[in-house]
Amino acid sequence: MKSDSSTSAAPLRGLGGPLRSSEPVRAAPARSPAVDLLEEAADLLVVHLDFRAALETCERAWQSLANHALAEEPAGTSLEVKCSLCVVGIQALAEMDRWQEVLSWVLQYYQVPEKLPPKVLELCILLYSKMQEPGAVLDVVGAWLQDPANQDLPEYGALAEFHVQRVLLPLGRLSEAEELVVGSAAFGEAQRLDILQTIDAARQQQEQEHPGSEEAPKPNPEASPSSLPFLYKLAQLFRWIRKAASSCLYQLRIRD
């Protein structure tokens, strides 16, 4: 059978034009080892329930990031990898009843509170407030909220409200809560009014329970996992973190 010379003689074409034999074929950039370690850590955490190994794998991933920056990856991917490592590490620490270490653990990688991702900061607030230790995150969240670079983030308003509800009100720091709500442009008028009403109700209760006192009593310092039904109290938190970790990993996989 006669071959179609017009077809056989035509050069192979790539997106940029004919592909000549002398041109090297461009290989796709290799995936960062930190991404593989992240998937391994999530598997250890969720499937094998090996929390110590999951935490150690997260730490190896962070070391890999320090040694080999994700130069070939989009900036957003690098940020998601770091955030996902924190999500897995936070849960691993909490599962091992080492929740008190969470804040210092994430800060060793981000150095300053202002650089914490919103999702990680939210998890820290949720964890410490669940364990009746909201004061542990007071300064960290305050520093994050005051940073001008964070005030343009879409998550800022939700985190500011979370800080009021989970940290400032339980600590009885009503004036600080009021100043934050009134002075921030992140709140809509209806939202601001609702929060101010909540603060006012808390102030009235505080005055009834402690007349003449500006400061509510601090949470019981003896509250700890040993005095609370620890696994029951944190069951919902763990499910939330698992969902967040799975979501981050799914977003990374669909980019590959």
d(CA 120, CA 126): 10
Name the pTM for this structure. Answer: 0.73
d(CA 152, CA 155): 9
My answer on whether 119 and 201 are in the same domain is: yes
Predicted pLDDT at 195: 94
Structure tokens at 236: 């919902």
Report if residue 255 sits inside a domain.
Answer: no
Report if residue 153 sits inside a domain.
Answer: yes
Report if residue 102 sits inside a domain.
Answer: no
Mean pLDDT, rounded, for 107-129: 95
Report if residue 254 sits inside a domain.
Answer: no
Q: For residue range 153-181, what is the model confidence (pLDDT) as tens digits? A: 999 999 999 999 999 999 999 999 999 99
My answer on whether 83 and 118 are in the same domain is: no
Q: For residue range 186-237, what is the model confidence (pLDDT) as tens digits? A: 999 999 999 999 999 999 998 888 776 555 444 444 444 433 344 434 445 5
- φ/ψ of 216, rounded to 5, equals -75, 155
d(CA 186, CA 181): 9
104 and 125 in contact (C-beta within 8 Å)? no
My answer on whether 84 and 128 are in the same domain is: no
My answer on whether 191 and 121 are in the same domain is: yes
Report if residue 61 sits inside a domain.
Answer: yes
Predicted pLDDT at 226: 38
Range of the domain at 117: 113-206
Mean pLDDT, rounded, for 89-106: 95
Q: For residue range 23-63, what is the model confidence (pLDDT) as tens digits? A: 454 544 556 788 899 999 999 998 999 999 999 999 999 99
Report if residue 145 sits inside a domain.
Answer: yes
Predicted pLDDT at 229: 41
Structure tokens at 70: 């994700």
Question: Of 181, 206, 231, at which residue does a domain stop?
Answer: 206
My answer on whether 66 and 134 are in the same domain is: no
Report if residue 252 sits inside a domain.
Answer: no
Report if residue 214 sits inside a domain.
Answer: no
Q: How far apart are the first and last CA of the chain?
A: 43
The b/e string for 187-218 (b: 16+ C-beta within 10 A; e otherwise) is: beeeebeebbebbeebbeebeeeeeeeeebee
My answer on whether 172 and 199 are in the same domain is: yes
Number of domains making up the chain: 2
d(CA 111, CA 229): 33
Predicted pLDDT at 16: 46
Strand intervals (E) in the chain = 13-14, 17-18
